[in-house]
Amino acid sequence: MRAILNRTLRSAIIVAVAMMTENSAAAAASVEQHISFQGKDGIPIAGTLVLPEPANSDRLAPAVLLIQGSGPTDRDGNQPPNLQTDLLRQLADILAGAGIASLRYDKRGMHENRDSFPKHQNELSDFFSWSAFVDDAHAAFAFLVTHPGIASDRVGVLGHSEGGLLALDFATQYRPQPKLLILASTPGRPLGQVIHDQLSGLLKQQQATAEQRQFFLDADQRIRSEILATGKVPLDVPAGLAALYPGYLGPFLKSEFALDPAALAAKVEVPILVINGAADSQVSAAQDAARFSSALAKRTDGSEVFTPSAVSHNLKPVTGANDQGIAGALDGSVRDAILRWLKTRL
């Protein structure tokens, strides 16, 4: 999510040879295709379609759309050169090994889609609106549903972090809904509350004085209130918060701040698996996952909330207090939970 301050501030490396070997084997048993589809307003979106190698070539494959988190994150889950998680690539390999196809894609105007980046500053707000990203996600879903190698009634969506918010939003707007949703490290509270907690934690970590903490927290509250009211980022954003609130993102942030993720989840009529690592320093298992739990408590469709211990925001193992769980292989318990849940529902 855009509010996730720690993503670009820290890195860690965890080596997991067994999982790397497993992922390589899964990749060898699949067919990877470079594809392109049209997003909102006909914008070309490049992506990667992974089709499992079927025992019977006439058998249509179930599929999962993978949506990455906030910022300039590419289809593999990376923000090169500084942030390298390979999260979505690893998920695609794991799914292929289980006979499940996947589609992941670069965001509009970024990475392979950079040629469509607006030429004029005054075009940025519309091009990068929240609705544009929601419609792009739905276009990706529609591509999968209509692909000749995919079982159209067996297509789900996995959204990571902000990608889960996009998945929730388009699933409540469009029909047919996906077969299921997986919300990985997705906030269950409105984004403003998450930003406040993240900012407060970061200021404490940086040993800011009480006066400094109050200044930035008050400024953040004021900025968010003005964005929600007007759709515009105020001109007097303090330098320390400028990276969170670029001027052109006012309309995008207004829409995102207005979302209530748990309320959206309650409206979605398909099974939902929520995964929130207990060691996630950006989205709180105690608060965000708990809110999803309340929203889904009365469901009888197999919806679940899974909060594995010692698992990071990027669904990687965390080995200690200074380990942010960024690199390395997907946590084994997360892998097993996803495959187990999909096996009976997709």
| Interatomic CA distance for residues 178 and 110, integer angstroms | 26
Q: What is the pLDDT of residues 235-262, one digit of tens each?
A: 999 999 999 999 999 999 999 999 999 9
Long-range contacts formed by 314-323: CB under 8 A, 24+ apart: 314/77, 314/85, 314/87, 314/185, 315/87, 315/160, 315/184, 315/185, 315/275, 315/277, 316/14, 316/85, 316/87, 317/14, 317/16, 318/277, 318/279, 319/14, 322/12, 323/12, 323/14
| Interatomic CA distance for residues 30 and 22, integer angstroms | 13
The arithmetic mean of pLDDT across residues 283-307, rounded, is 96
The answer to whether 87 and 318 have CB atoms below 8 angstroms apart is no
Outline which parts of the chain fall under CATH 3.40.50.1820.
Answer: 5-188+262-345
- Asked if pLDDT for residue 4 goes beyond 80, the answer is no
pLDDT at residue 2, rounded to an integer: 46
- Asked if pLDDT for residue 309 goes beyond 60, the answer is yes
**Confidence band, pLDDT 50/70/90 cuts, at residue 28:** very low
**Confidence band, pLDDT 50/70/90 cuts, at residue 320:** confident
Q: What is the pLDDT of residues 65-120, one digit of tens each?
A: 999 999 999 999 999 888 999 999 999 999 999 999 999 999 999 999 999 999 99
Is 5-188+262-345 a domain of CATH 3.40.50.1820?
yes
Percent of the chain with pLDDT over 70: 90
Q: Which residue has the higher pLDDT, 9 or 40?
A: 40
The answer to whether 287 and 261 have CB atoms below 8 angstroms apart is no
**Confidence band, pLDDT 50/70/90 cuts, at residue 152:** very high
**Confidence band, pLDDT 50/70/90 cuts, at residue 293:** very high
The DSSP secondary structure of 83-105, one letter per residue, reads: B---HHHHHHHHHHHTT-EEEEE
